Amino acid sequence: EKIEDIEHVQRCLMSELSRFGVLNLLPGVVTRVLLRKRWQELLDLRQAQKDVFTQLIKTIKNVSDGDGGVICYVDTLLKLQLPEENRKLDEGEVVALCSEFLTAGTDTTCMALEWVMANIVKYTHVQKRVVEEIKEVLGDRKDKEVKEEDLNKLPYLKDVILEGLRRHDVTEDVIFVTEDVVLNDYLVPKNVTVNFMVAEMGRDPRVWEDPMEFKPERFLSSGFEAFDIIGSKKVKMMPFGAGRRACPPYNLAMFHLEYFVAKLVWNFEWKASSGGNVDLSRKQEFTMVMKHPLHAQIYPRF
Ligand code: HEM
């Protein structure tokens, strides 16, 4: 029940996010008068979120105080002492951080998974090659289960995931500029927020050959494990951001994607529902989603 409550409130906030963006276009004193109703909607949703989360946070607080056993994310937030301000996080901040952690770690992976699967359904030769690769690794093993440790032996599968992340952006990046910077003769003044289209990097024809094509083989040339996905040496795409603010658990996200795709493709044959066509048009929601969600028919392979 509690999980459903969280899911409901998070979904409402995320799906309405674009409508609330307008509240930022003018100073708060103005929009509070002009868009009073929308402000109220946002505040009501935020209150609903606080109610759901706070109840759980309080429970964790009581349990943690008592046994000191397993340490969870909320425990670390409750214990955190902000060094510069010499204070603890307040309740609203803890709720915001829990919410960030959930949204950052669920919708992103789900959408990336859907984009990768959409390409696997659309391009049957890719699906075939993933299956062949897994077959070779599992050999005559009786259990026929893809295990965590098998993933290191599946370079083509990794390339399929990388190509999915390159071709289909899930997030866009916002950076906050703390000092004046001159970039290609343009002055980017300090204290502004810069929103740049991460996706365009992955589709830059000066960097990628045939950027709009889905060609996992393009990553083979960089060698297994070698592709620098968070751009520590050179940024060629940035699905997980880059530098200090890059997605901290990007390895976990890659692992999830490889593991889920391997399992889905190994256990089922996937075919497009709508006469073989998969429409890869996109739509901006909280993440970049498929305009027409993937519909596929699946057939057990065993
Ligand atoms: C395919 C899946 C994922 C994608 C594409 C993705 C993408 C990103 C990007 C682009 C950023 C940087 C945003 C910025 O520059 O400010 C980011 C940050 C973050 N990600 Fe992920 N992410 C994914 C999965 C996950 C997972 C599974 C988790 C948690 C278990 C997670 C937790 C976070 C957190 C907490 C941050 C904020 C870090 C900070 O503020 O310094 N992400 N993610």
Pairwise CA distance, residues 203 & 31, whole Å: 37
Ligand 1: which residue has its CA nearest to atom 42?
105
Pairwise CA distance, residues 57 & 98, whole Å: 9
- Regarding the beta carbon of 105 and ligand 1, being less than 6 Å apart is answered yes
Q: How confident is the model at residue 65 (pLDDT cuts 50, 70, 90)?
A: low
Q: How far is the CA of 20 from the centre of ligand 1 (A)?
A: 22
pLDDT-wise least confident of 26-30, 154-158, 209-213, 278-282: 26-30
Checking if the pLDDT of 4 tops 70, the result is yes
Q: How far is the CA of 32 from the centre of ligand 1 (A)?
A: 31
Structure confidence at residue 226 (pLDDT): 60
Which value does ipTM take for this structure? 0.97
Q: What is the mean pLDDT of the chain?
A: 89
Structure confidence at residue 68 (pLDDT): 57
∠ CA 78-81-45 to the nearest 5 degrees?
50
Structure confidence at residue 164 (pLDDT): 96
Checking if the pLDDT of 165 tops 60, the result is yes
Position in ligand 1 atom list of the atom nearest CA 244: 41
80 exposed, middle or buried (CB, 10 Å; 0-12, 13-18, 19+)?
Answer: middle
pTM: 0.85
Checking if the pLDDT of 33 tops 50, the result is yes
Checking if the pLDDT of 196 tops 70, the result is yes
- Regarding the beta carbon of 258 and ligand 1, being less than 6 Å apart is answered no
Structure confidence at residue 288 (pLDDT): 83
Q: Phi-psi region for residue 159, left (φ > 0), alpha (ψ -120 to 50) or beta?
A: alpha
- Regarding the beta carbon of 261 and ligand 1, being less than 6 Å apart is answered no
Structure confidence at residue 224 (pLDDT): 47
- Regarding the beta carbon of 173 and ligand 1, being less than 6 Å apart is answered yes
Segment 247-294, tens digit of pLDDT: 989 999 999 999 999 999 999 999 999 777 899 998 887 778 899 999
Q: How far is the CA of 15 from the centre of ligand 1 (A)?
A: 19
Checking if the pLDDT of 124 tops 60, the result is yes
Task: Say if residue 247 carries a ligand binding annotation.
Answer: yes
Distances from the Cα of 72 to the Cα of 36, 57, 69, 105, 107, angstroms: 38, 11, 9, 15, 21
Percent of residues, the chain, with pLDDT higher than 70: 96
- Regarding the beta carbon of 202 and ligand 1, being less than 6 Å apart is answered no
